[in-house]
Amino acid sequence: MKYWKRYLGFVFLLLSLTSLGFSEDFDLQYFLARTSSKESELSRKERTELLNRIEGAVEQAQRIHKDLTQAIQGGEVQIGYQEGRFWMSKLEEDRGSIETGVLQLKFLKETPTHLLASIKLYKSLRDLSSNLSAYNNTSLFSAFVGDLAPEMELWVDPVFYKLYLLPLARSKDTETEPPKKEKPPSPKEKKP
């Protein structure tokens, strides 16, 4: 009986230490839960992980973009000439959005409090999300896009906008506001 108590205590100690050893899992559900909580300020670690997760979504969008381009140009997808030109122009827009997003993500990883880079990243992610949704709504391309379109929409609007962009803009707004100086009233001269 004495050994069982020691063994049970050792197992309990081991389980409690292993639960402390695992890092927090910062997935989409975690960040969505943070958007609904009252405390929307992210720690430095959470901001970095948010940027890493968005970078992963952008890389996935880059692979989908490549696959879609090859499918249209290679004739795997049977579409007419005019429709093909339209979708190729959309894919060209996506290429620009992806490149801008990648550049802004690199810049934000170096300087996470840069407001202009955050706004540019938000705009490029928003455009990319919109086009991915359009591809997903087309039966010819939905197999290529899969679940990335709705996932990208969630990363962009509730998560990045509420947890990263708005708090950053609020902090910049309070920082850059110069103190108001009151001018002393000028003495009024009376006319004789």
- pLDDT the model gives residue 21: 39
Residue 172's pLDDT band (cuts 50, 70, 90): confident
The more confidently predicted of residues 78 and 191 is 78
Instruction: Quote the CA–CA distance of 108 and 114 in Å, as a whole number.
Output: 7
Tokens at residue 190, please? 């009376």
The pLDDT value recorded for residue 11 is 55
> pTM here?
0.73
Q: Is the pLDDT of residue 13 over 60?
A: no
Average pLDDT of the residues in 69-96 = 88
Which one-letter amino acid corresponds to residue 172? Answer: K
User: For residue 113, which amino acid is it?
Assistant: T
Per-residue pLDDT, averaged over 83-90, amounts to 88
Q: Which tokens go with 112?
A: 């996470």
Q: Please say if the pLDDT value at position 128 is more than 60.
A: yes
pLDDT tens for 18-47 read 444 344 678 888 888 888 887 767 888 888
Estimate the share of the chain in helix, then strand, then coil, as percent rounded to the nearest 5: 75, 0, 25
What domains sit in the chain, N to C, each tagged with a CATH number? 43-171 (1.20.120)
What pLDDT score does 16 carry?
55
Instruction: Please say whether the beta carbons of 155 and 53 come within 8 A.
Output: yes
Rounded to 10 degrees, the C-alpha dihedral 168/169/171/177 comes to 160
Q: For residues 43 and 146, give the distance between their C-alpha atoms in angstroms, rounded to a whole number.
A: 32
Please indicate whether residue 59 or residue 6 has the higher confidence score (pLDDT).
59
